[in-house]
Chains A and B, each alone.
Chain A
């Protein structure tokens, strides 16, 4: 169990870091939308209607680090698996 929790903690950290990098390494807050940006050719107005778009921010990294820390901390409550040693 200890190993599983530690492995999960590492996985959460790696996955969060990879997601953050993949979505542009944004150093602001997490975003779940962006402006449409389409130009209305008749009026010249740029459409600002939000369209879904996930951009991980530093709060996402922080929350992931916290979850990883909790998993790693929880692993301390479990003992290492005893290995059987045989005496000759």
Chain B
């Protein structure tokens, strides 16, 4: 076999090696979470959501090309007070029955810096809540844990990608009680996302 015949094979192998990995964020351990916090009289409301799914395509050789979509099940949002939780899911607030998903779809990354296995960047994408989609940019960190899937889920081999993000939204931008209950629930909501995705081999 001539060397020239090997070139396509070598190119194909190189392309396969450099191909982005697709990480699945449906965590079998149920640890993935989104935490939200907003001011209210008496005490701030702190809650979390655990119904997280979605996929992210990540290339450790080219983190700036990362794309993907993270989905949070509205029904999984919870707060420690049962009455507040009931109100939050009701048609007056998030309307979980009509809008069962909260999503963020990453479109582009900017200001990308990578140190060892941690990449920080500003991700721009579309955030959808309560049926309203809005473009936004948020700081994000991506930690690539090569060959660590087995440490978390025995009998599986592969990589992990941990995504952390912290950003704020205004509930009025998403038509949630617009202009109402301003004295009871703050319009500003702090969101923190801590999620790990798996790419099995």
Contact = CB atoms under 8 A, between A and B. Distances in A.
A12 B87 CA distance: 28
Contact of A48 (B48, B82, B148, B162): B48
Contacts of A32: 80-82
Nearest to A55: B80
B42 interface: yes
Contact of B78 (A27, A33, A55): A33
Nearest to A31: B80
A2 to B, nearest CB: 34
A31 B80 CA distance: 5
B84 interface: yes
Contact of B80 (A27, A44, A46, A50): A50
Q: How large is the interface on B (under 10, 10 to 19, 20 to 34, 35 or more residues)?
A: 20 to 34
Interface majority SS (helix, strand, loop, mixed), chain A:
loop
Chain B binding surface, main DSSP class: mixed
A29 B145 contact: no
A43 interface: yes
Contact of B43 (A28, A42, A47): A28
B196 A45 contact: yes
Given A33-B78, A43-B160, A28 B33 contact: no
B194 A45 contact: yes
B145 A42 contact: yes
A31 to B, nearest CB: 4
B78 A50 contact: yes
Interface string A19-62: 00000000111111111000010111111111000010110000
The 6 A-B residue pairs whose C-beta atoms are closest, nearest first, are A28-B43, A31-B80, A48-B48, A48-B33, A43-B196, A42-B152
7 contacts: A27-B43, A29-B43, A33-B78, A40-B31, A45-B31, A49-B48, A55-B80
Interface of A: 27-35, 40, 42-50, 55, 57-58
